[in-house]
Amino acid sequence: MYAAPAAYVADLPRPERCLVMGVVNVTPDSFSDAGAWLEPAAAIAHGRDLHRQGADLVDVGGESTRPGAERPGVDEELDRVIPVVGALSAEGIVVSIDTMRAAVAVEAVSAGASAVNDVSGGAADLDMLPAVARLSVPITVMHWRGHSATMQSMASYTDVVAEVQAEVAARIDAALAAGIRADHIAVDPGIGFAKTGEHNWRLLGHLDELRALGFPLMVGASRKAFLGSLLAENARLRPVDARDDASAAISALAALAGVWCVRVHDVSSSLDAVKVASRWARAST
C-alpha cells in the first residue's frame, strides 16, 4: 500500500526518503512569491535560507509559468538566474535550473548547477535535450502542452491520467533518443500546467500509474490555485501565503505514494511531512 521512492536520480542527493526541492523564483510575476526574490542578493539569501531549512536541492528559475504569463527574453532570463546559480553552487548547495531554454541550461550548468528542470520536457526548445545529453546532468521532464499565455485553453482530456502518461512517455523517449542517460531522468505530471483542479486531483490520486513509467517522480503542487479553491471560504480563495499546511499535506501523501521529490516553497513543513511519511512507510512493511 505504501511505497518508498521507486528509484533515485543518479548524481543527486540520496537521503533514503522523498527529496525536498526548495523554490527560488527570480521573477517579478510568479504567483507564489511575486517579485520577492527578483534582486540577486535577495534570491541568494532566500536560497541559503531554504538550504538551512534542509532543502536537498534548490531550484532557481527566471521565467514565471503562471497561467497567462509573458516570457522574458533570453538575456533577461540569464541576467536573473546566473548570478544566483553561481553564488549558491559556490557554497556547496545543490542547484537545479528551472528553464525551458537550452542556452540558459548550458550557462547555468557551467555556473555550477547540478540538474535541469524543464517544465516543457524539452518541447519548448529543440536544442534542450541534446544539450542536456552533452552536459550529462539529470533532467526533470514535465508534462506540458504549451506556453503559459495559452496553456489553460489546452486543459481538455478524456482520461487525464492516461493522456498525461502517454504524452510524458513520448518526451521520455525523446530524451533517451537524444542520448540522455535513463538514470538521469525524472518525470513530473505538471500540476496546474494545462490542467484544471479536477485534473490535478485525478493525477495526484493516480500517481501509481505515472510511477509505472519506471522513472523517479517529481510533484510540484505547492501553493497552487487548486489548493486555494479547496480551502476557499465564503467563495474567497485561500490566499497564496496561507497554503503551506495544505502543501505539506500533499508532500506527505506524495511521499507515501512513492514520489522521489516534492518541489515546494516552504521547505521546513514539507521536510517534516516527508520524514513522517518515510517513517510511516517503514512501519507498514
Catalytic machinery residues: 224, 263
Candidate segments 87-95, 104-112, 185-193, 266-274, binder of ligand PMM by CB under 6 A: 185-193
Q: Which phi and psi angles does 114 have, rounded to 5°?
A: -100, -15
Nearer to ligand PMM, 2 or 230 (CB): 230
- Distances, alpha carbon 163 to alpha carbons 49, 195, 200, in Å: 38, 12, 13
The reply to whether 244 sits near ligand PMM by the rule CB under 6 A is no
The position carrying cell 555556473 is: 111
Candidate segments 1-9, 26-34, 143-151, 200-208, binder of ligand PMM by CB under 6 A: 26-34
- Distances, alpha carbon 70 to alpha carbons 30, 63, 79, 127, in Å: 11, 9, 17, 21
* Residue 103: strand, helix, or coil: helix
Residue from 23, 108, 194, 267 binding ligand PMM (CB under 6 A): 23
The reply to whether 30 sits near ligand PMM by the rule CB under 6 A is yes
Q: How far is 285 from 273, CA to CA, in rounded Å?
A: 19
Q: How many CB atoms lie within 10 A of CB 17?
A: 20
Residue from 77, 107, 125, 188 binding ligand PMM (CB under 6 A): 188
| Closest by CA position to 141, among listed 166, 171, 124, 121 | 121
94 within 8 A of 104, measured Cβ to Cβ: no
The reply to whether 89 sits near ligand PMM by the rule CB under 6 A is no
Nearer to ligand PMM, 66 or 134 (CB): 66
Nearer to ligand PMM, 225 or 281 (CB): 225
Binding mask 255-274 for ligand PMM (x = CB under 6 A): --------x-----------
Question: How many residues lie near ligand PMM (CB under 6 A)?
Answer: 19
The reply to whether 107 sits near ligand PMM by the rule CB under 6 A is no
Nearer to ligand PMM, 98 or 107 (CB): 98
The position carrying cell 552536459 is: 135
Taking the complex as a whole, the smallest distance from the CB of residue 32 to ligand PMM amounts, in Å, to: 4
